[in-house]
Amino acid sequence: MTRAWLCRVDPLALVAAVLPATILVLFSRGVAVPACFLGLGFGLLVASGAPWRRIAAVVAGAAAMVTLLTLALRPWISADRVEGEPWAIALAAGLRVITMMVLTLLVALSGHSGRDLVRSLVTNLRLPYRWGYAGLSGARLFPAVAAELELVRSARAVRGSAHRGRPWSPVQRFLEPVVPLLASQIRHAERQALVLESRGFGAYPMRTERAGRPWSVTDSLAVLIIWAITVVPFVVR
């Protein structure tokens, strides 16, 4: 199956392409500009070949969060102290926040992994690979801890060690996995340190990659096309 065109674009190019739109949304006023760039984010998500279920979830979640933010901000806006309709100001503020969130998370939502972004930063921006892979290891820590916590809870449930009917049971269930999780992460850190040491990680300023992410003509075209689309709302006004 052929991958979508935008999914083949370097994740760093995607970040550079949506960065001007994110900055413009931050300093914009009114509803039109954030709404246009929110539509741009949804369009880029479709062009990246993301599953339709994910796209529908993002659209529905964005609509719900805009509604909640509008309702939450409206009581704080006094019609006597602002120029314009308070509901429109609250809606514009909610749209700005959600649009910046969608544009910022576009790399992750489009299917690019954190490893691809780290490879691109190391290859194209000459980011020290120690920093890049240290950040990637930290980002992978939370899913690993969550999976280990689920395993510990399942093991306790199988053994019949769950505490029921006691007033302090919720607190006890919350604190009991701390020691097994701590021991597991210490073992994981020792194994990772041995692997890094055996591979000479950090011994040299540069490190070769089995599959790098060099900048290509496609990346430049994608950045220029998205920049051109970014300018359209200001030209047609």
Tell me the per-residue pLDDT of 58-105, one tens digit each, with 9 for 90 and over. 999 999 999 999 999 888 877 777 777 888 888 989 999 999 999 988
User: At residue 164, what are phi and psi to the nearest 5 degrees?
Assistant: -130, 150
Residue in 64, 60, 62, 70 with CA at minimum distance from that of residue 91? 70
Q: What is the rounded average pLDDT of the residues 171-191?
A: 81
Decide if 110 contacts 14 (C-beta within 8 A): yes
Average of per-residue pLDDT values in the chain = 81
How far apart are alpha carbons 76 and 227 in whole angstroms? 35
Give the pair of three-digit tokens for residue 86: 């308070």
Name the residue type at position 79. Answer: A
Decide if 148 contacts 184 (C-beta within 8 A): yes
Q: Is 90 exposed, middle or buried (0-12, 13-18, 19+ CB in 10 A)?
A: buried
| Higher per-residue confidence, 24 vs 213 | 24
Q: Give the position of tokens 């097994």.
A: 180
Percent over 90 (pLDDT), the chain: 15
The predicted pLDDT at position 212 comes to 62
